[in-house]
Amino acid sequence: MTSSVLPVDEIITNNPIYKRALTLANHGKSAPYERLEFLGDRVLGLILADMLYHHFPAENEGDWAMRFTLLAQEKTLAEIAKQIGLPKRLITQDNALRQNSSILADVCEAVIAALYLDQGLEKARQFVQTWWTPLLNRSHETIKDAKSALQEWAQKHQQMPQYTVINRIGPDHAPLFTIEAKIEGFGETQAVGPSKKEAEQNAAKQLLTQLTGE
């Protein structure tokens, strides 16, 4: 698809639900897309989970969770929103909002919900697979290597990273861990994740960014 073609035009029909998905808040009122965003988040989550299950059968749920986190995060959603031309499609009087990553991510989910309601799950799946499949392998690399990279940095400074569980909340089937990553004399940070492994990776990534500025 070339930049002169608006990819989202290929899925939008005359159904007014797409207008709701693309309309931002006005004068302090709730944005029309917010209810659709809620649904779209769940539809996207189901499709991504199914993709990970079938693309990486040898991995465990912890590995899938790390991949899922990056595939469903705001940055990824905002990037895809720009690729499919959503900024031009937003219905708003504030043009600055067209580049707001949080809004773009939310509207991207709202469009997925609209597509699901208008044309069914398989059409929504086709859309998600088209835009997310190229990210499947790339999605894991940064977070997967964070602890190794942090350890290499620490060893160069005659230190070793320390990881401490600060908190654990939620039921056994859906826990949320808070982990502190620390290098004595250099810095510390905290991050959360649905497993200790993922929380450690998230904390390592944050601390590495803090230490190196990268």
3-state secondary structure 93-124: CCHHHHHCHHHHHHHHHHHHHHHHHHHCHHHH
Q: Do 112 and 193 share a structural domain?
A: no
Scan for tokens 């999605």, then name that residue. Answer: 139
> 139 near 75, Cβ under 8 Å?
no
Question: For 12-30, what is the mean pLDDT?
Answer: 82
Same domain, 183 and 157: yes
Position 27 in a domain: yes
Same domain flag for 121 and 67: yes
Show the tokens assigned to 178: 């808070």
Residues 133 and 149 in one domain: no
CATH number for 76: 1.10.1520.10
60 occurs within a structural domain: yes
Residues with catalytic roles: 41, 109
Average pLDDT, the chain: 87
Q: Is the pLDDT confidence value at 48 over 70?
A: yes
The reply to whether 76 and 179 lie within a common domain is no
- pLDDT bucket at 5, cuts 50 / 70 / 90: very low
Across 54-63, 69-78, 80-89, the highest mean pLDDT is recorded for 80-89
133 and 154 co-located in one domain: no
Placement of tokens 């597509």 in the chain: 115
Question: Domain range for residue 110?
Answer: 7-139
Specify whether 200 is located in the same domain as 110.
Answer: no
Is 1 part of a structural domain of the chain?
A: no
Among residues 114, 139, 164, the one where a domain terminates is 139
The pairing of beta strand 187-193 with beta strand 162-169:
unpaired
Q: Which two tokens stand for residue 209?
A: 């960014």
Least Cα distance to 115 among 213, 22, 2, 188 occurs for: 22
Per the structure, the count of domains in the chain is: 2
Concatenated DSSP letters for 14-34? Answer: S-THHHHHHBPP-TTPPPTTH
The last residue of one of the domains, among 139, 157, 187, is 139
CA distance 158 to 48: 41
Query: Do 184 and 122 fall into the same domain?
Result: no
Q: What integer is the mean pLDDT of 83-100?
A: 91
- Residues 127 and 171 placed together within one structural domain of the fold: no
In a domain, 99, yes or no: yes
How far apart are the C-alpha atoms of 35 and 205, rounded to whole Å? 33
According to the model, what pLDDT value does residue 165 have? 95
pTM of the model: 0.66
Return the number of other C-beta atoms located less than 10 Å from residue 125's C-beta.
18
Residue with the bigger pLDDT between 26 and 17: it is 17
pLDDT digits (tens, 9 = 90+) for 141-180: 655 568 888 888 888 888 999 999 999 998 887 889 999 9
29/13 same-domain check: yes
Which is nearest to 181 in space by CA: 150, 212, 157?
150
Among residues 124, 133, 197, the alpha carbon closest in space to that of 165 is found at 197
Please check whether residues 82 and 172 belong to one and the same domain: no
Q: Is the pLDDT at 116 greater than 80, yes or no?
A: yes
CA–CA distance, 104 with 79 (Å, rounded to integer)? 8
pLDDT band at 49 (very low <50, low <70, confident <90, very high): very high
How many Cβ atoms from other residues are within 10 Å of residue 146's Cβ? 23
* 60 pLDDT above the threshold of 80: no
Query: Same structural domain for residues 22 and 112?
Result: yes
